[in-house]
Chains A and B, each alone.
Chain A
Amino acid sequence: MSTASTETSETVVHPRRDNTREPLLEVTDLVKHYPVKEYTGLFPTTNQVRAVDGVSFDVAPGETLGLVGESGCGKTTTGRLVTRLIDPTSGSIKFDGKEIGQAKERQLRSMRRDMQLIFQDPYQSLNPRQTVNTIIGTPLEVHNLVPKNKRKDRVQELLELVGLNPEHVNRYPNEFSGGQRQRIGIARALAVEPRLIVADEPVSALDVSIQAQVMNLLEKLRKELNLAFVFVAHDLGVVRHFCDRVAVMYLGKIVEIGDRSDIYEAPQHPYTQALLSAAPDLNVVRGAERKERIRLEGDVPSPINPPSGCRFRTRCWKAQDVCAQEEPLLEIKSGARQGHQIACHFPEIKDDLATSLENTSA
């Protein structure tokens, strides 16, 4: 399926959500609550921050799933839960058919080879006192993948793969620029030949021109190595560029999930529509029609006391009584395609939010 996406953007073929598909990663009802103590009154009370509150999705081999949403919606926590960097409160994570949601660290060790993380900040995710050789060589050593005398060769191979000079193996992170550091982080993740990479905002700390270079690198690696990605990002343009499927999160829940074209061209959930509408569009100066503006009021409510029923109702312009009483389920609505699920009582297709240029230039 990696060859499929080499065609033009219009005809990208990717694994559909159907019965024949074998998911590589299957997440069901994942929950993470953080206890916080509040010291008001006579006795401290313990509240729960519902960072992730019942999230389900799956990722097929070679597929990319984008997780988007505002800060505090739980997208990063989800990424970390999936790789078991933090322990879930409840719920199941199946990787390659094996349940790893509650597995012990010892059992996880072997699975960590198949699942790697790329972090957001290339300045904090590399040990400043280790050379590139040590940084990339350590995973090879831990998993005993390459005999000791071949290790440096392999590191150099990896450096070349991510577009760095193989002669720089003995340098320290501070000798590299931000984009180059992010490449080192990518090489480190690739060292163990993973099948799934969780990328947590991998390009948001970089300049646009460097960002494009790293995006192209990820795209190339994904095709060559048939990697599956869970791609956490807040930049809707980047997600549209890179991801086959997109899940929109709000306050610890997925509100809409579907193929890229579903989310960007026929979004049904009001929050997805608001997000798309808020993103500034470069095509405005080229004479594209200004899309309908939806402006959300206020801030995201506290995840300690999320609103009853639909969590988006406090900022939603369509909210009615039923929204406060009943929580909408994430399901396929009328007019939606296979695999496009929406959690809303009043879904409605708006297709003019992100396709303005295509309409005017056609």
Chain B
Amino acid sequence: MSALPATPVAESGRERILEVNDLQVQFPTADGLVNAVNGLTYSLDMGRTLAIVGESGSGKSVSSMAVMGLHDPRRTRISGSIVLDGTELVGASQETIRQLRSSTAAMIFQDPQSSFHPFKKIGDQIAEAYLVHHKVSKKVAMTRTVEMLDRVGIPNPDRRAKQYPHEFSGGMRQRAMIALGLINDPRLLIADEPTTALDVTVQAQILDLLNDLQREFGSAIVLITHDLAVVAEVADDVMVMYGGRAVEHGTAHEVLANPRHPYTWGLLGSVPKLSASGGNLRTIRGLPPSLINLPSGCSFHPRCDFSDRVPGGLCSKELPGLEVRAGDTTRRSRCHLADPAGIFDAEIASTLE
């Protein structure tokens, strides 16, 4: 582990819960090998919230599902290392992973509509998760379930536990999903687009709830989202992914207020602001790359407006490393540009406000 590069959150006194090193996830398909995640390295400490941002197909969900051991080993090639709470997951038996799943790491899915079994009562489904990891009677498990439903702000938890998923509204179902995720007191919670299917008012409630629960239990959260405004509100650290690789990783303030990678600039420019109106949005031209045939060199160079400023066509030849650049202390970025800070201050910053 000593070969690990310095991570942005190497704060002393905090326990490290997750360490991902050079993770590769590939899916063999009829069209060729899909390189979903290509050498991802990051770590997460207890009590921190890491947001993973990127377009669809950037590998943000696939890498997190690997952490949960949710990929079918027969159809997936995983290499590298994932150390969750001291246990190596890559190559571990299904039994080991099942022990850790839900008790050490739990996941909340995007679509609460389809994440519950429609024919089973909400309470029974949550209690089942508790019973798997605890030797207690069903009655105790149900008491614990009702307690948990109450914790996530569901009114009348007694009655609600006996209802079916279709009797819950979208926001309530997402709360129940969070209760299911938290029932075993996991140390790591992975939330995959937890609020994308919800209205803004409910989204605000759910984000507040996640924040409160984190403060209370001190767990670590990985938040997967494409909504940068949500990231700005809740995340401590941000990792931007593109084509299965991290392109920028630092604290939320570094990445969102002083980004150093052209892709991050493009993402930020694409968001219509709540506090400004009219005018054209800055966009990223073109489409996300095919994961079967990733572009040579830096995967982003075909869509990058700044690759002509790097001498010798280096962008299309050589993949830049994810390193701490001059002028930065903790943030790592993956770009050949000699002076991204200068370009950002001179050309980009004014367009983002």
Contact = CB atoms under 8 A, between A and B. Distances in A.
Given A9-B279, A215-B281, A299-B172, A279 B267 contact: no
Given A216-B281, A299-B172, A207 B232 contact: no
A280 B227 contact: yes
B229 A281 contact: yes
B252 interface: yes
A256 to B, nearest CB: 15
B49 to A, nearest CB: 13
B271 A219 contact: no
Interface in A39-72: 70-71
A207 B270 CA distance: 10
A261 to B, nearest CB: 8
A209 B200 contact: no
- Max count, chain B CB within 10 A of own CB: residue among A234, A241, A264, A281: A241
Nearest to A10: B278
A279 B205 CA distance: 11
A278 B280 contact: no
Given A282-B232, A361-B353, A276 B274 contact: yes
A282 B268 contact: yes
A295 interface: yes
A238 interface: yes
Interface in B175-234: 199-205, 207-208, 226-230, 232-233
A177 interface: yes
Output the residue of A212, A242, A282, A354 with the most chain B CB within 10 A.
A282
A290 B288 CA distance: 34
Interface residues of B, number: 50
Contacts of B169: 299
B171 A299 contact: yes
Contacts of B232: 280-285
B55 interface: yes
Contacts of B233: 280-281, 284
A123 B17 CA distance: 40
A208 B281 CA distance: 11
B267 A209 contact: yes
Contacts of B282: 212
Interface string A324-355: 00000000000000000000000000000011
A8 B278 contact: yes
B229 A295 contact: no
Interface string B230-257: 1011000000000000000000110011
A357 interface: yes
Nearest to A298: B155
A295 B272 contact: no
Interface string A225-263: 000000000111110111000000000000000001100
Given A208-B271, A260-B277, A361-B353, A279 B200 contact: yes
A296 interface: yes
Interface of B: 55-56, 155, 169-172, 199-205, 207-208, 226-230, 232-233, 252-253, 256-257, 266-285, 287-288, 353
Interface of A: 5, 8-9, 12, 70-71, 177, 179-180, 207-213, 215-216, 219, 234-238, 240-242, 260-261, 264, 274-287, 293, 295-296, 298-299, 354-358, 361
Q: Which 5 A-B pairs have the closest CB atoms?
A: A9-B278, A212-B270, A241-B272, A280-B229, A278-B204
Given A279-B200, A286-B353, 20 more contacts: A207-B55, A207-B56, A208-B55, A208-B226, A208-B271, A212-B269, A212-B272, A215-B281, A216-B283, A234-B200, A240-B276, A241-B277, A279-B204, A280-B203, A280-B230, A281-B274, A282-B229, A282-B232, A355-B275, A357-B275
